[in-house]
Amino acid sequence: MAEIVSFSKEGSVGVLTVNNPPVNALSQAVRAGIKAGVEKGIADTDVAVMLIICEGRTFIAGADIREFGKPPMEPFLPDVCQFIEDCPKPVVAAIHGTALGGGLEIPLSCHFRIAVASAKVGLPEVKLGLLPGAGGTQRLPRVAGVQAALEMITSGTPVPAAKARTMGILDEVVEGDLKAAALAFAKRVVDEKLPIRKVSQLSAKVDSPAVFEDFAKSISRKSRGFIAPFKCIEAVKIATELPFSEGMKREREIFLELQASDQSRAQRHVFFAEREVVRIPGLPDDQRTRDIKSVGILGAGTMGGGIAMCFANAGIPVFLLDVKQEYIDKGVAVIKKNYANTVAKGSLKQEVMDKRLSLIKPTLAYEDLKDVDLVIEAVFEDMAIKKEVFTKLDAVCKPGAILASNTSYLNIDDIAAITKRPQDVMGMHFFSPANVMRLLENVRGAKTSPEVYATAMKVGKTIGKVPVLVGVCDGFVGNRMLASRTRECGFMMEEGALPWRIDKVLYDFGFPMGPYAMGDMAGLDVGWRNRKAKFDSLTTREQKNTILDKICEMGRFGQKTGAGFYKYDEKRNATPDPMIEELIINHSKEVGITRRNISDQEIIERAIYSMINEGAKILEEGIAARPLDIDVVWLYGYGFPIYLGGPMFYADTVGLKKVYDAILKYRDLVGAEYWTPAPLLEKLAKEGKGFYSR
């Protein structure tokens, strides 16, 4: 077996080669190997300069995630970085692929840095609720300047080699063979007797002491609720105020403080959950899947057009079918406009847009779908229409083609039952706007074959989504839990909380929008139509809660009509409407509810704990296989705050006993039909366990 870090000599150059597939992660063995290699180079009198380079597809791409949550093992990365920088012989880092996190902190401790043009460098620790803990916040501002360091560290976004060169992070960007170029560079260092440059000895200067406060203000909206970005700013500021050694101590203290925080635990949970969610419990990793080389989309509306864009973006040809030419024309025009907006922003080249548009073939004929490998139906949310469409698809599509519905709550088994191939039918629930939202809720029916739902999961990854596999029930995972929140918010509105108050509390909790602002944006007529479709299955109290009905009957459907729960100006800025306040207060009188003051805490508990209780039922019923499946649905489809980790992780953070006690309290207040604890939640609470520690 090859050494993880090998040491060899090329003339007077000592070459340390890291080979720790797949991404040369900074495991304990890599850290120890680099330190040992530098020691060898120091001890060898024939070695005048050293080179750190990596095998495989990338330079060191960050920490070893297998070591997360385990006690740290020596040598610690800050010590390895300091050892490299203190080396009496010059050390050169040669970068390809990505140098991320500790994979950039190692080069920053080297005396020279070169990279191939395709390389990227970055410090993404903020995305795990951390800051760079091995000198990143202290060295980067010294070499790249304070402003650039703040931008890189608080965003966690990697920068390409050319930009890194202009920032001063890299000394040279090279073409062709990296090792040959790196050896030539190392020899030049020796031949020209270039002085060793220690980044720690440079100073991090600021033009104005207000730079840090100004920068914090500039990211306040984007980083709302997160702790780590602002701690990163604090650490970079320290680099401008304290000597390097003292700055390193403070960086370490802040790192450990963040590492112990609930937010970092939540963000690390999200990191792992996103990677784990694609693995289907009970299926082997090498489960056979079907090739998806062409796709049919039914419905050229907002959803169908967005789905078509997802496949075209991934280079997969799409037939976009609708029943009238005018619908097709309108749908294609929207797609073109969406792409043109991206081109105008400079995020997409015109020729790429043209290529993607050429992959979308509009059609009015079902016959054109006869050879596609996958069809996704995105027509009106009505079971009779869905069944009619699937009957036609069943007759036209080739054997082995997957027939999927984009339904957000209808029963997939009922749809599959009218076909001759129920094993090939499933749900693929995209979220609007489909070309932007990352979640794909894949719904397996009772008869869906493992090959089919494994294919849907693979397709999800191919088109850049975060796919989650769920089972059949009304609303699946996301909308079923949302229904509980919607009900409780509706009840609280009757009992004393106005919509803008509920919205503010949930916005402050961390959601991008409150439920009523969101309803206005999506269109209240959508929720109203769903309410009418399900009216007979609602409880008496829900049926009597006619606030939404009254608002919609006034023609107030939200932003698109200039008024909904809120009223809107021509720029769609919302303001609370006294007319709606009066309507709600009168409604409470009509149904005999005495309004009262409802605390922020009650709003959070009834909105969030009702969802958690429903999530526990979903786990018990096997609709979701794991709590992480539920968390990922809510994180990527419904805007649950990343720094809280998802509803089930958040429940564990709060403590299930506390959630359980609150459910009993609301059972007495609201009624047992709404607030009976799920047996799983009750069991875990009484055992002192959590959803993730069962």
Q: What is the CATH number of the domain that holds 543?
A: 1.10.1040.50
At 2 the pLDDT is: 60
User: Which of the four pLDDT bands, split at 50, 70 and 90, describes residue 421?
Assistant: very high
Q: Could you tell me the CATH number of the domain that includes residue 83?
A: 3.90.226.10
Mean pLDDT of 261-269: 96
Q: Could you tell me the CATH number of the domain that includes residue 422?
A: 3.40.50.720
608 occurs within a structural domain:
no
Q: 144 and 30: one domain?
A: yes
628 occurs within a structural domain:
no
Query: pLDDT digits over 337-382, tens only?
Result: 999 999 999 989 999 999 999 999 999 999 999 999 999 999 988 8
Mean pLDDT of 402-423: 95
Residue 639: phi and psi, rounded to 5, are 75, 20
Domain holding 228, by residue range, is 5-260
Task: Find the catalytic residue in 85, 105, 494, 614.
Answer: 105
* Active-site residue flag, 687: no
Mean pLDDT across the chain: 95
Query: pLDDT digits over 513-541, tens only?
Result: 999 999 999 899 988 988 998 899 999 99
Cα–Cα distance for residue pair 413/443, rounded to 1 Å: 10
Q: 19 and 128: one domain?
A: yes
Q: pTM for the complete prediction?
A: 0.93
Query: pLDDT digits over 82-112, tens only?
Result: 999 999 999 999 999 999 999 999 999 999 9
Radius of gyration of the chain (CA): 29
Q: Residue 616: which of 682, 523, 687, 567 has the closest Cα?
A: 682
Q: 346 and 453: one domain?
A: yes
303 occurs within a structural domain:
yes
Judged by DSSP in three states, 160 sits in strand
Q: 319 and 246: one domain?
A: no
549 occurs within a structural domain:
yes
DSSP string, 110-124: SSEEEEETT-EEE-G
Task: Find the catalytic residue in 125, 251, 381, 614.
Answer: 125
Residue 373: phi and psi, rounded to 5, are -90, -20
At 64 the pLDDT is: 85
At 1 the pLDDT is: 44
Q: Which of 590, 618, 635 is the last residue of a domain?
A: 590
At 350 the pLDDT is: 94
Mean pLDDT of 18-41: 96
Count other Cβ atoms within 10 Å, centred on residue 21.
12
Cα–Cα distance for residue pair 539/670, rounded to 1 Å: 13
At 175 the pLDDT is: 92
Mean pLDDT of 624-641: 97
Q: Which of 590, 612, 642 is the last residue of a domain?
A: 590
Task: Name the domain count of the chain.
Answer: 3
Q: 67 and 198: one domain?
A: yes
At 338 the pLDDT is: 94
Cα–Cα distance for residue pair 360/319, rounded to 1 Å: 6
Q: 162 and 240: one domain?
A: yes
Q: 210 and 335: one domain?
A: no
Q: 62 and 189: one domain?
A: yes
At 207 the pLDDT is: 82
* Active-site residue flag, 326: no
138 occurs within a structural domain:
yes
Residue 590 contacts by C-beta under 8 Å, 6 or more apart in sequence? Answer: none
Mean pLDDT of 461-487: 95
Mean pLDDT of 128-140: 97
Query: pLDDT digits over 475-515, tens only?
Result: 999 999 999 999 999 999 999 999 999 999 999 999 999 99
336 occurs within a structural domain:
yes
197 occurs within a structural domain:
yes
Q: 443 and 317: one domain?
A: yes
651 occurs within a structural domain:
no
Helix (H) or strand (E) holding 429: strand 425-430
> 69 pLDDT exceeds 80?
no
Q: Which of 215, 243, 260 is the last residue of a domain?
A: 260
Q: 138 and 252: one domain?
A: yes
Cα–Cα distance for residue pair 148/167, rounded to 1 Å: 7
Q: With b meaning 16 or more CB within 10 Å and e meaning fewer, what string describes 667-684?
A: eeebeeebbebbebbbbb
Query: pLDDT digits over 544-598, tens only?
Result: 999 999 999 999 999 999 999 999 999 999 999 999 999 999 999 999 999 999 9
Q: 221 and 92: one domain?
A: yes
